[in-house]
Structure 1
């Protein structure tokens, strides 16, 4: 029974999201909001997706 309780506690913590606060320039936020709107997403979801891709190694930097 204790094992099941610990497994459930671990599963709950793995999938939990956390709120963060980040300071970015007004211009960058406007661009993010515009791109999110183009994709039909809330801008917070777009930021979350970008961060997830970065930490998982799927984000590719493009040279300009």
Structure 2
């Protein structure tokens, strides 16, 4: 099973603000990554930090799901 960024975050009961702070990005920037409303993708280093923060294997994240 794969998860969107949103699903992985919610599954671990983390708020958008908590994730943004852990990644060192602004809340609006995180929201754009999570909803896919930006052409810019989540940078690899931030992606790894996110996966560690929510304790999800990076191969289980599907960026095509929102």
Instruction: Establish whether TM, by shorter chain, passes 0.5.
Output: no
- If asked which structure has higher relative contact order (CA below 8 Å, sep 6+), I would say 2
TM-score, structure 1 length as denominator? 0.36
TM-score, structure 2 length as denominator? 0.35
